[in-house]
Amino acid sequence: MSQTVINQSKRAAFFSVIKQSLQGGEIDYTVGSIRRSVVLLAIPMMLEMILESVFALVDLYFVGHLHDSSYAIQTVGLTESVLTVIYSLAIGISMAATAVVSRRIGEKDPEAASKAGMQAILIAVALNTIISILGLVFATQILLWMGASAEVAQRGTSFMQLMMGSSVFIALLFLINGIFRGAGNAAIAMKSLWVANIANIILCPIFINGFGPVPAFGLTGAAIATTLGRGLGVVYQLYHLFNGKNTLKILATHFAPDWDQIKALIKIASPAVLQFVIASCSWIFLAQLVATTGGDHGSAGYQTALRLLMFFMLPAWGLSNAASTLVGQNLGARQIERAEQAVFKTAKYNVLFMAVITILSLTGAQWFVSFFTNDAQIQEVAIQAIRIMSVGYVFYGIGMVLMNAFNGAGDTWTPTWVNLFGFWFFQIPLAYVLAKYLQMGPTGVFIAIPVAETSLTLASIVLFRRGKWKKMQV
C-alpha cells in the first residue's frame, strides 16, 4: 500500500511540474532541484522550437502538393537556407540578451535586466531594416547564386522578397523569446510560437490555394501566410512584454540608446552572431554543392531532408537552451558548481531524446518523406540524406548543450572558434572532396555532415572541461 502511495505521489509531482512549466511565470533557478529546473525550462523551450520548425514544414507540405512542385520545394528550401543568416543574427543577439538578462536576474537586479532587453531590441531592428532592403532588391540574384536554375529563380523571387523583407519579425520572435527565457519565463516564449503557427497553418491553404475573395497566390501565398503568422506572434510577445505583470518592467527611458549598454551587448553578440553565421553559411555552401552536383531533384530532396532534420533538431536545441538560462542565473548568483551540474543534467536528457529521434529517423525516413512529396526522385535523395545524417544525432545533442552553456555564460568566442574550424576548415573541404573529387555527388555532402558535427562535439567537451566559461564577466 505504501509503495502505491509513493508512486501516486511521484506521478502527481511529475504532472504538477509539467503543468507549471506550461502555465509559465518567472522562477528563480538558483535554488531547488536542478532536475526540476531543467524540466521546467526544457518543456516549453522544446515545444517552442518544435513550433518554430513547423513554419518551414507547413510551407513545405502545402507547396509540395502544388503542380510542378519541384521548383516550389527548391525555392522554399533555398530561401530557408539563406534565412539561416537572419536566424544567426537573431539567435546571436538573443543569446547576448539571454546571457545579460539572466545574469542580472541572478544578481536580483530586474531594472538592469529590463533595460538590457530593450537595448537588444534596438540593435535587432536597426540591423534587420538593412537586411530587408537588401532582400527586396537582390532576391532573384540570391536564388541564382544559391544554385537555382533561371526558371526557379524567376518563379521564386516574390517568395524570397516577402520572406527576407519581413526579417524583422523573425528577429523579434527569437530576441524577445530570448529575453523572456533569460528572465526565467520560457512559457511565454512557447505561447508566442503557438499564436504564430496556428495563424500560419490556417492562412497557408487560404493564400496558397485561394478561398472566397482571396485569390490563389501559389508559392507566394506561403510567404504571405508565414509573414502574417510571425507578425501576430510578435504582437503577442509585445503585449506581454509591456503589460507590467512580469518581473521585467519596461519604461520609456529604456528605449533611449545607452551606448555603453549597446557596446556591452554587441561585445557578447558579435561572436555569437559570427558563430551562427559561420554555421549557417556552411549550410548554404552545402546546399549549393548539392544543387550543382545533384540537379533540381537532388536539391529538392536535400532540402526536404534538411527541413525534417531541423524539425527533429530544434526540440533538442530547445532542451539545450535550458543550459543557457541555468548557467547565466547561477553564475550571477555565484553558484558555479550548480551551473556545471545543470549542464551535465541537461546533456543527459538531450542524449536520451536524440537517441529516440535516431531510431525514428532510421526506421521511418520513407514515411516522413512521402508525407511531403510524391516525386519518387526527390523521395530517394531525401531518404538517403536522412538516414546518413541521423547517425550523428546523439553527438549533435551533446554539442548543442555545451554550445548553449558557453553562450549562457557569456563566453561566446569559444563556440565561435569551434564552429569556424569545424565547419570551414573541416566540413566544407571534406564535403567538396567527397562530392567533387571522389564523384560521390550529394551522398558525399550527406556523409560530411555527421562526421563534422561529431568532431565539433568532441572539441567542445575538451574546452568545457577546461572551465574558462566559469570566469566570464558580463
Residue with more model confidence, 42 or 104: 104
Q: Are residues 357 and 396 in the same domain?
A: yes
- Residue 266 maps to a domain: no
Q: Which residue has the higher pLDDT, 390 or 38?
A: 390
Phi, psi of 144 (to 5 degrees): -65, -40
CA angle 59, 95, 176 (to 5 degrees): 60
What does the pLDDT average to over 155-165?
86
Lowest mean pLDDT across 49-63, 86-100, 101-115, 292-306: 49-63
pLDDT the model gives residue 177: 86
Cα R_g (the chain), whole angstroms: 22
Query: Among the listed ranges 39-48, 125-134, 223-232, 407-416, which one has the minimum average pLDDT value?
Result: 39-48
Is residue 135 one of the residues assigned to a domain? yes
Q: How far apart are CA 85 and CA 96, in angstroms?
A: 17
Mark whether 157 and 225 lie in a shared domain: yes
* pLDDT confidence band for 56 (50 / 70 / 90): low
DSSP secondary structure string for all residues of 361-428: HHHHHHHHHHTT---HHHHHHHHHHHHHHGGGHHHHHHHHHHHHHHHHTT--HHHHHHHIIIIIIIIH
Q: Quick one: 62 and 127 in the same domain?
A: yes
H or E element that contains 129: helix 110-145
Check residue 459 and give its pLDDT. 94
Q: Span 38-47, mean pLDDT?
A: 78
| Domain stops at, among 199, 230, 257 | 257
Q: What is the mean pLDDT of residues 49-66?
A: 70
Choose one of 211, 229, 257: the last residue of a domain: 257
Per-residue pLDDT tens for 320-346? Answer: 888 888 888 888 888 899 999 999 999
How wide is the angle at C-alpha 275 spanned by C-alphas 53 and 100, nearest 5°? 85
Instruction: Quick: pLDDT tens for 7-32.
Output: 555 566 666 666 666 666 566 677 77
CA distances to 283, 328, 472 from 180, rounded to whole Å, are 29, 13, 22
Q: What pLDDT shows up at residue 9?
A: 59
State the Cα angle at 425 between 433 and 439, rounded to 5°. Answer: 10
With a CB cutoff of 8 Å and minimum separation 6, the contacts of 69 are: 63, 373, 374, 375
> Does residue 191 sit within a domain?
yes
Is residue 19, in this structure, part of any structural domain at all?
no
Per the domain annotation, does 210 fall within a domain?
Answer: yes
The pLDDT value given to residue 102: 84
Sign, CA torsion 321/385/279/423: positive
Same domain assignment for residues 324 and 237:
no
* Judgement on whether residues 322 and 402 belong to the same structural domain of the protein: yes
Please compute the mean of the pLDDT values over residues 350-376 and round it to a whole number: 87
Residue 305 φ/ψ region, left for φ over 0, alpha for ψ in the -120 to 50 degree band, beta for the rest: alpha
Check pLDDT > 80 for residue 84: no
Cell of 299: 536539391
Listed in sequence order, the residues at least 6 apart from 59 whose beta carbon sits closer than 8 Å to its beta carbon are 76, 204, 222, 223, 225, 226
117 confidence band (pLDDT: 50, 70, 90): confident
Q: What pLDDT was estimated at residue 150? A: 79
Which residue in the block uniquely carries the three cell numbers 509513493? 6
Reported confidence tier of residue 154, pLDDT bands at 50, 70, 90: confident
Q: Write down the pLDDT at residue 456.
A: 92
Q: Which residue has the higher pLDDT, 158 or 41?
A: 158
**So what's the pLDDT on residue 329?**
83
Do residues 375 and 443 share a domain?
yes
pLDDT digits (tens, 9 = 90+) for 169-203: 988 988 888 888 888 777 787 888 889 888 988 99
- Cα–chain-centroid distance for residue 179? 15
pLDDT tier, 68 (very low <50, low <70, confident <90, very high otherwise): low
Query: Under a CB-based contact definition with an 8 Å cutoff, are residues 458 and 464 in contact?
Result: no
- Residue ending a domain, among 228, 257, 286, is 257
DSSP 243: S
Q: What is the mean pLDDT of the chain?
A: 83
On whether both 277 and 342 belong to a single domain, the answer is yes
- Residue 66 lies inside a defined structural domain of this protein: yes
d(CA 13, CA 3): 15
Q: What type of residue is 308?
A: L
Of 470, 356, 454, 334, which Cα lies nearest the Cα of 406?
A: 470
Q: Nine-digit cell at 317?
A: 536545441
pLDDT of residue 5 exceeding 60, the answer is: no
Domain housing 242: 45-257
- The number of domains in the chain is 2
Give the model's pLDDT for residue 463.
Answer: 94
Q: 356 falls in which pLDDT band (50, 70, 90)?
A: very high
> What pLDDT sits at residue 465?
92
100 and 170 within one domain: yes
CB 54 within 8 Å of CB 63: no
Q: How confident is the model at residue 235 (pLDDT cuts 50, 70, 90)?
A: very high
